[in-house]
Amino acid sequence: MDGATALVTGGSKGIGRAIVEELARFGVAVHTCCRNEEELNAMLNQWKSMNLCVTGSVCDVSNHAQREKLMHKVQSIFNGKLDILINNAGTGGPGFKPATQVTSGEYSSLMATNFDSSFHLSQLAHPLLKASGRGNVVFISSIAGTGCFPEGVAVYCCTKGAINQLGRALACEWAGDMIRVNCIAPGLIKTSMTQPVTSKFLKSISFTTLFSKKYLESISFDKTNKNDIRLIHGKFPLSI
């Protein structure tokens, strides 16, 4: 991976930040984005002190024009070629809220941030990925898009389910362009975005059960739909 180029959306914190730093440690030149300029600049300074090759842009990925501006900058920085696109940026929206109470604004915001951005950025990146001759697209999805969950996350689940299907479709469509497409669907990860959900979840189960040896041994990384895409997920049992 040394010498490769990557765009990671939503890279200033949480899963995105971990991805940015891991790629950079492997010698990848990484460009990332986030909505908050102060937060981005703080992270860029920190990465510089760590001797990591990371650049960044302020971008609200829910905005069509800002997505286009971001990709123009990436094209310029990496001389028209991109090896890796990681569609990581996302939001939980209104949190736990019954479907009957979700407003049209909340619905539109979730779809624009989670799904529309993933599709549009992949579309914009396609010529850069194709030009590299070894393009890779990774969608950060969620187990919420793979099954049924209690009331309160219907729209969020829809956005992630749509991302999974988009990954399958693009994996088939872009294979001839030497572009690999994969989806990663994590379970509940303790980040700032999931903090409200995490707190509620941990109150409902035994902490010792969640992190017991038996639980850890039960984690599996399954490969599904092997002919077109690998959907890697980390489902965990609530009763052991």
Residues serving a catalytic function are 156
pLDDT tens digits, one per residue of 169-207:
999 999 999 999 999 987 666 655 555 555 555 555 444
d(CA 66, CA 47): 24
Instruction: Assign 3-state DSSP to the chain and report helix, strand, coil percentages, each to 5.
Output: 50, 15, 35
* 21 contact partners, CB below 8 Å, separation of at least 6: 47, 50, 52
Provide the total of helices (H) and of strands (E) in the chain, helices listed first.
9, 7
Q: How far apart are CA 184 and CA 228, in angstroms?
A: 14
Buried b (16+ CB within 10 A) or exposed e, 13-38: bbbbbebbbebbeeebbbbbbbbeee
pLDDT at 240 over 60: no
pLDDT at 48 over 80: yes
- Cα dihedral 59→125→133→232 (10° resolution): 80
Cα–Cα dist 23/18, whole Å: 9
91 — pLDDT class (breaks 50, 70, 90): confident
Q: Residues 128-143: pLDDT tens digits?
A: 999 999 999 999 988 8
pLDDT of residue 38: 95
Distance CA 185, CA 94 (A): 20
For residues 112 and 60, the answer to whether their CB atoms sit within 8 Å is no
**With contact defined as beta carbons under 8 Å apart, do 163 and 212 qualify?**
no
DSSP characters for 110-146?
HIIIIIIHHHHHHHHHHHHHHHHTSEEEEEE--GGGT
The fold of 5-233 is Rossmann fold (3.40.50)
